[in-house]
Structure 1
Amino acid sequence: MLFSTQEFLILFLPLVLIAFYSVVQVRIARQLVIIAASLFFYGVWNWHFVPFLVLLTFINWAIACQYSKSLNKIWLTSGVILNLSMLGFFKYANFFAENIDDLFGIHHTTWNIIMPLGISFFAFQKISYLIDLRRGDKHIYSLVDFFEFVTFFPQLISGPIVRHNEIIPQFEKNPVNPQLWENISKGLCLILIGLVKKAGIAESIAMTCNPLFDQAAQGHLLNITEAWVAAIAYSLQIFFDFSGYSDMAIGAALLFGLQLPYNFNAPYQSHNLQEFWRRWHMTLSRFLKDYLYIPLGGNRCSPARQSANLITTMLLAGLWHGAGWSFVAWGGMHGVGLTINHGWKKIAPFHLPKPIAWIITLSFLLFSWVLFRAESFSTATHIWQSMIGLNGFGTYKIRHNVVFYLAILLVLFCPASQNLVNNYLRPSKWIAIVGGIAAAFFILLIGGRIPDAFIYFRF
């Protein structure tokens, strides 16, 4: 079930809210409503994986309980290995087998392995909890608390990647409190903003982006204008698509009185690559920093070792995004870019003017997104060649050009969604009227379309 569908917005979500608030005074009852709704939400995609999700969650909880009794860290290590093994099998088995077979000149017949939706996200949640226990955290939760933490449907499929100590303590708080109507109003605003981003902007820009990348993949030579439009369009599409999902997830959670961590903060306004990763997919960046980069040594070591740590972290970040060498190379690009960024800060005799730093950063991002989106290295290389003018000049007519140019203005000058809702929107009947009309329009709009899954669903 997708957030940007009529089934979710006018059927599933309202019914779950009615059930939730009808038993809201009883903690266990409202938690069971959310767990049941979350398993149903997950099962709509494929019921066969609901037992897998339930069993893996139960095993992780049992491992934590066993550790609390014995204090033997082998339990936690085994749990981390288990989660990584499940992630590795479902997401990377064919990738690794294919590459091993290629080394020996053997043709690999692809195994029919269906990846459970959201495994990259809920596996990381469990891993972070087990590692926290290993580091000295003493929180052992009830089975119900742990199940709600893992399965909570707004963040189950594509994040944000929520930590146990950020959300489980909130379960105890009755949502019917003085903040109730503020949470509901902000939640509805974020859901609407996310819906506009996804259905109004990302899907419109995709109509420009996808044909250009498809033409490049088929060997058609793009001119310089087409190549830059393709790169800019995908940069806009992936931002509005994924940040739109995150806005809707955070907004839906607020309707239940739960606050999820923010995931985006105007990333294309960054003046360097390090700042970009503090603003883009913030919960993944935080996870990689706390559970990979710092354990490797972080920046508490020699410059050479720090560079190796950065590149290793970003290579694995690329691999996390997809089982393909283009994703690994994309991560490597960012690793090298971050290394240069850190080195420049340490040895440069001057700071670049902010406009120049912003142009360099944005140009790097545009070139790197081409590799992330392209179906192959050859396609990415072709588009890069076109971007620097090697395949000729020309023009291109952008579809939905008003949306395209508006999207550019929004990413460059508009505050992040959460800042807009928290700092700029104030209770007003006019906002309510305009918001209601916009919501009705976009709900009708998505009813006439074939549902288009969020980009990060496949990661």
Structure 2
Amino acid sequence: MLFASQSFLVVFLALVLGLYYAVGDSRAARQGVIIAASVLFYGLWDWRFVPFWLAMIGFSQMVAIMWGRTGQRLWLRVGIAGNIAVLFGFKYADWLVGSVMHWMGREHVAWPIVLPLGLSFFVFQKISYLVDLGRGQARVYRLADFMEFVTFFPQLVAGPIVRHNELIPQFDASPRNAAMWENLGRGGLLLLVGLGKKVGLADTLGTICAPVFDAAHAGHVPGMAAAWLAAVAYMLQIYFDFSGYSDMAIGMALMMGIRLPFNFNAPYAAVSVRDFWRRWHMTLSRFLRDYIYMPLGGNRCTPLRQAVNVMVTMWLAGVWHGAGWNFVVWGLLHGAALAVAHVWDRAGRTMPRVGGYVLTMGFVLLTWVVFRAADLATAGHMLGAMAGLHGMGGAAIRHPVVLGLAAAVAVIGPASQQVVLERLRPAPWMAVAAGMAFVLLLFLIGGRPPEPFIYFQF
């Protein structure tokens, strides 16, 4: 079931919220509603994976219990290794075998593996919990509390990547409190903003860039103008698609009285690559910093070792996004850029903000082409076309109003979560406008084939 669907918004979410508030004063009943709704939400995607999903949760809980009873780190190592093994088996095994077979000059028939929805996200959440247990920064939770944390459906599929100590304590408070109406109002408005980003902007931008990338993958190299237009459209599409999902997730959680961490802070206003990663997918950046970069030594080491730490961290970030050499290259490019930025800072150098902005956005744009391409050959076709190697060509600008609006919102900002949650003041006209916008977006959804969020594939 997709967030941006009429059945989810009008039926599923309305029923869940109604039940949740009907039993709002009972901790156990609220917990039951959330867990049941989350299982149903996941099962509506593919019921065959529900037993596997629940077994993974039970495995991690068993490991935590055994750690609590024995204090032996072996249990935590088994838990972390088990989660990584499942992720590897579903996401990377076929790709690696295929790559080896290709290097050996042999044909590989792809294995019929279906990637469970949201696998990377809930594996990361469980790994962070097990690591925190070993660090003495977590306690062993009851199975129901742990299951509620891992399955919480607003952020289950594509984040934000939430830590146990950010979410589980919030489950104790009843949503029926003095802030209830404000939470419902602001949460609903943020949900609406995210829906508008997804349906009104991202899906429309996808119709601009997808045909060009698909043609390049098929061997039809576009002209320079078409390639640049597609690259810019995708740069905007992935931002509004993923930040739209994050807004909807954070908004739905707030409607239940629960605050999730911000995930985007106007990333296309960044003036350096380091600044970009402080603003883009902020919970993933935090996870990479705290559970990979810092344990490797972080910046508490020689410049060369720090560069290696950065490269390893971003290589893993690239691989986390998908099984493909284009994702590996994308991660390594960002790792190299961050390593250079660290060297630049150590040398005491500075760059004018305008120059830093142009250089950063140019780098981000070009690396998004590598990220979006089906493979490295397609990325080469697109980058070559953008360099003018295949002629200027012509490109009719489809949906120029949407493209211009998206560019203005992405560059000028500010971040939607800050506006809705911190700056806006309630007003009757706002409720009327939001209601009208919601109805219009519902009609727009009904007139289009459903488009999954881009990050669902990761």
Q: What range describes the TM-score normalised by the shorter chain of this pair?
A: over 0.9
In structure 1, give the amino acid aligned to 2:273: L
Match of 1:67 in 2: 67
Match of 1:269 in 2: 269
Q: How far apart are 1:136 and its partner, in Å?
A: 1.3
Answer yes or no: is 1:145 the counterpart of 2:139. Answer: no
Match of 1:395 in 2: 394
Q: How big is the alpha-carbon RMSD for the aligned residues of Structure 1 and Structure 2?
A: 1.1
Match of 1:347 in 2: 347
Q: How far apart are 1:138 and its partner, in Å?
A: 4.1
Match of 1:286 in 2: 286
- Larger deviation, residues 7-16 vs 18-27: 18-27
- Larger deviation, residues 379-388 vs 324-333: 379-388
Calculate the TM-score normalised by the size of structure 2.
0.98
In structure 2, give the amino acid aligned to 1:282: M
Q: What is the rounded CA distance, in whole Å, between the counterparts of 1:284 and 1:7 in structure 2?
A: 30
In structure 2, give the amino acid aligned to 1:439: F
In structure 2, give the amino acid aligned to 1:333: L
Which deviations, in whole Å up to 9, do the C-alpha atoms of 1:391-432 show, x marking residues without a partner?
A: 222431111110001100001112111111123311001111
Query: Is the Cα–Cα contact under 8 Å of residues 129 and 138 in structure 2 kept in the other structure?
Result: no
**Structure 1 unmatched runs, 5+:** none
Secondary structure of the corresponding residue to residue 92 of structure 2:
helix
Match of 1:251 in 2: 251
Which deviations, in whole Å up to 9, do the C-alpha atoms of 1:288-342 show, x marking residues without a partner?
A: 1110011111111111111111111111110110001110000011000111111
Which deviations, in whole Å up to 9, do the C-alpha atoms of 1:195-217 show, x marking residues without a partner?
A: 00000000111111111112222
In structure 1, give the amino acid aligned to 2:33: V
Query: Is the Cα–Cα contact under 8 Å of residues 35 and 151 in structure 2 kept in the other structure?
Result: yes
Q: How far apart are 1:218 and its partner, in Å?
A: 2.3
Match of 1:317 in 2: 317
Match of 1:444 in 2: 443
Match of 2:366 in 1: 367
Q: How far apart are 1:348 and its partner, in Å?
A: 4.7
Q: What is the rounded CA distance, in whole Å, between the counterparts of 1:341 and 1:359 in structure 2?
A: 15
1:82–1:177: structure 2 CA closer, same or farther, 3 Å change rule? same
In structure 2, give the amino acid aligned to 1:375: A
Q: What is the rounded CA distance, in whole Å, between the counterparts of 2:325 and 2:364 in structure 1?
A: 18
Q: How far apart are 1:135 and its partner, in Å?
A: 0.9
Q: How far apart are 1:386 and its partner, in Å?
A: 1.9
Answer yes or no: is 1:412 the counterpart of 2:418. Answer: no
Match of 1:422 in 2: 421
Q: How does 1:156-235 map to 2 (within 5 A)?
A: 156-235=156-235
**Structure 2 unmatched runs, 5+:** none
Calculate the TM-score normalised by the size of structure 1.
0.98
Q: How far apart are 1:220 and its partner, in Å?
A: 2.3
1:332–1:180: structure 2 CA closer, same or farther, 3 Å change rule? same
Match of 2:240 in 1: 240
Q: What is the rounded CA distance, in whole Å, between the counterparts of 2:376 and 2:13 in structure 1?
A: 42
Match of 2:44 in 1: 44
Q: How does 1:29-178 map to 2 (within 5 A)?
A: 29-178=29-178
Match of 2:432 in 1: 433
Q: What is the rounded CA distance, in whole Å, between the counterparts of 1:318 and 1:95 in structure 2?
A: 14
Secondary structure of the corresponding residue to residue 346 of structure 2:
helix
% identical aligned pairs:
51
1:177–1:233: structure 2 CA closer, same or farther, 3 Å change rule? same
Q: How far apart are 1:222 and its partner, in Å?
A: 2.0
Answer yes or no: is 1:456 the counterpart of 2:455. Answer: yes
Secondary structure of the corresponding residue to residue 191 of structure 1:
helix
Q: What is the rounded CA distance, in whole Å, between the counterparts of 1:49 and 1:394 in structure 2?
A: 47
In structure 1, give the amino acid aligned to 2:381: H
Q: What is the rounded CA distance, in whole Å, between the counterparts of 2:75 and 2:423 in structure 1?
A: 48
Q: What is the rounded CA distance, in whole Å, between the counterparts of 2:322 and 2:70 in structure 1?
A: 37
Secondary structure of the corresponding residue to residue 45 of structure 1:
coil
Q: What is the rounded CA distance, in whole Å, between the counterparts of 1:235 and 1:105 in structure 2?
A: 36
Which deviations, in whole Å up to 9, do the C-alpha atoms of 1:258-314 show, x marking residues without a partner?
A: 111111110010000001001001111110111001111111111111111111111
In structure 2, give the amino acid aligned to 1:376: D
Query: Is the Cα–Cα contact under 8 Å of residues 138 and 165 in structure 2 kept in the other structure?
Result: no
Q: What is the rounded CA distance, in whole Å, between the counterparts of 2:376 and 2:67 in structure 1?
A: 46
1:424–1:137: structure 2 CA closer, same or farther, 3 Å change rule? closer
Q: How far apart are 1:360 and its partner, in Å?
A: 0.2
- Larger deviation, residues 273-282 vs 216-225: 216-225
Q: How far apart are 1:155 and its partner, in Å?
A: 0.7
Q: What is the rounded CA distance, in whole Å, between the counterparts of 1:138 and 1:414 in structure 2?
A: 37
Q: What is the rounded CA distance, in whole Å, between the counterparts of 2:386 and 2:212 in structure 1?
A: 13
Q: How far apart are 1:62 and its partner, in Å?
A: 1.5
Which deviations, in whole Å up to 9, do the C-alpha atoms of 1:341-379 show, x marking residues without a partner?
A: 111111154x21101100000000000000000112122
Answer yes or no: is 1:297 the counterpart of 2:297. Answer: yes
- Larger deviation, residues 375-384 vs 144-153: 375-384
Q: How far apart are 1:39 and its partner, in Å?
A: 0.2
